[in-house]
Structure 1
Amino acid sequence: MSTFYEGMAEIFEVEPAAITPEFDLTTAEAQWDSLALVSTIALVDDCYNVMLDGTALAACRTIGDIEALVRQAKG
């Protein structure tokens, strides 16, 4: 998932090393807003060829939650 982590680091404008499964999307640093949601949907589509539901994605609180959502969507 390194390409995914690098993309998430770009979205949140943090160092790639900061992106871990425990990275908290609810912090001020994360700025988990509508732009980040749309960017994440596009990133997941590019990395995994999976289209995530925006409502389910918005409910995610950590990078690990997003990874679990991707695994679920892939079946």
Structure 2
Amino acid sequence: MDLSDLRIFCRVAELTSFTKAAEHLNMAKGRVSTIVQLLETEVGRRQCDKWHGALYLRFVRKKVVSLSNGITSTRS
């Protein structure tokens, strides 16, 4: 799992659609689905159901912002 995988997950959760997320990200729907499945396997739970997805999305958003800020500050 890396930062780009987490961003893809966030987009799927925000748009509530693999198809819309794939279009927005200019990626194949199958690739987006595979990334989310790998993330779910790594975490050990299904993330795209309504309840767990919403909770996990909040967690992931915080981590993405934190990681992005860290990357930006190391480049400065």
Q: In which range does the TM-score fall when normalised by the shorter chain?
A: 0.3 to 0.5
TM-score (norm 1): 0.36
Question: Which of structures 1 and 2 has the bigger CA Rg?
Answer: 2
TM-score (norm 2): 0.36
